[in-house]
Amino acid sequence: MLRRIVGIETEYGITFSLKGQRRLSPDEVSRFLFRRVVAWGRSSNVFLENGSRLYLDVGSHPEYATAECDDLRDLVAQDKAGEAILRELVGYAQQQLVDEGVRGDIFLFKNNTDSSGNSYGCHENYCIERVDDLSRLEEVFIPFLVSRQIFAGAGKIVTSPRGSVYSMSQRAEHIWESISSATTRSRPIINTRDEPHADPERYRRLHVIVGDSNMNEFATFLKVGTAAVLLAMIEDRTTVLRDFTLASPINALRDISYDLWSKEPVKLQNGRDMTALEIQDDLCERATSFVESRDVPADQREAVRLWREVIDTYRHDPMSLADRVDWIAKLQLIERAREREGLALGDPRIALIDLLYHDTSMERGLHYRRQARGHARRMVGDEEIARAATTPPATTRAHLRGTFIRTAKEWRRDYTVDWVHLKLNDELQRTVLLKDPFRSSDERFNKLLYSMERREPHPWRD
């Protein structure tokens, strides 16, 4: 599979405070945040006109799942549109609190850990061919995910028995298994719960749990693009790939996270030792040969080209990747503050930098302040993000879902949707089942739309 459906689910951290003192619980803040969402769809779990899903997850975490994308720039725009949509909700909720006389500020963070040690995720979804043999994933894809921290990590100060130390990944300390059907009880690198949200005879949804939430557009583009190419190589049985099966994937995940400059090797099951950089370098070299000999989409070709650029730069001058890699950008901010003010890594003021890097506010957020100064490489423009907040990708099933929702709202028709179903809640209960996520047109859908538009508008049912 060369053309591939991809998506990202992001859980956000939320808090409300006045002068550093928490005044409302996350649950209370979330109720204010989702008042407008409930007004949109009479529920705190809704699909939006851009084809995405927005809901309140366990632990009072707002979660945004992008629409299905088959283009990496669409995915980046959809991911950033999620931030924009939630920023709008924060502004609305903030005004509601002011009107009710509640003083303080709502903070929405796109990160993966809180001050209590809890972790919340950024999950990647890849549509793959229906296959029950996952051995090649263990041999190649898991080592790729474990070692890609060098460009995909979001960075984190971790308190350890040795004191405060800086790590590449926020999620590394919270992953406990290699492959599992669980998601919270024992978080795995890859979740195997079989929910394809598509034709189960043809497709499987590969659910990647291990990734960090990225603020940098480049990092999002690269981590998903390289994974998509590698999956194509795994599915193509003629492509020769080395067996990188790790002796202990979880230990390797954590060891690599603390080995910022990729100096220490991790042990493979075959007895060899390799660094994260060596694993990535080998996979990138093979991916380069693969895209040169296959009709790979242009955006994935670009991802492989940028992969090589990042690996070579990381090898010779890693700090110059601060415009592209989140953990390096954050480390640069931290080290400059420490040098300027003589602070220890464990100082609360450094912890504040660690947190504010992920603030989604365009004014407060340290990533966005860097971006405004031209210190973060963009992959999409502000206009593309604004368009993605209201418009679904045109080339996938999301186009049908978004069009259906928009039209139903215009005609004030009661409806129910999920990833696969479009249903009109009227006397006939007409439903269209969309089992192919690659299809952006469907005659059954056209008939459903026509049946909706030819009737006079009427109020929502109670």
SS3 state of residue 27:
helix
Q: Report which of 275, 277, 158, 152 is spatially closest to residue 215, judged by C-alpha positions.
A: 152
Contact 234, 136 (CB under 8 A): yes
For the chain, how are helix, strand and coil distributed in percent, rounded to 5? 45, 20, 40
> In sequence order, which residues have a C-beta less than 8 Å from that of residue 269 and are 6 or more positions away?
243, 245, 246, 247
Cβ-contact 422, 432 below 8 angstroms? yes
- Among 57, 105, 282, 426, the active-site one is 57
Q: Which of 265, 281, 287, 267 lies closest to 315 in space, CA to CA?
A: 281
Tell me which residue of 16, 10, 50 sits closest to 33, measured CA to CA: 16
Burial class (CB in 10 A: 0-12, 13-18, 19+), 412: exposed
Joined tokens for residue 332: 């640069």
57 is catalytic: yes
Return the axis-axis angle of helices 298-316 and 217-235, rounded to nearest 10°: 110
Three-state SS at 369: helix
Sign of CA dihedral 161, 165, 169, 171: positive
- Check if the beta carbon of residue 427 is closer than 8 Å to that of residue 414: no
User: For residue 456, what is the DSSP state?
Assistant: P
What is the CB neighbour count within 10 angstroms for residue 71?
20
Cβ neighbour number for residue 227 with a 10 Å cutoff: 23
Contact between residue 57 and residue 50 where contact means Cβ atoms under 8 Å apart: no
DSSP string for 94-108: HHHHHHTT--SEEEE
Q: Are 187 and 161 in contact (CB under 8 A)?
A: no
By annotation, the residues acting in catalysis are 57
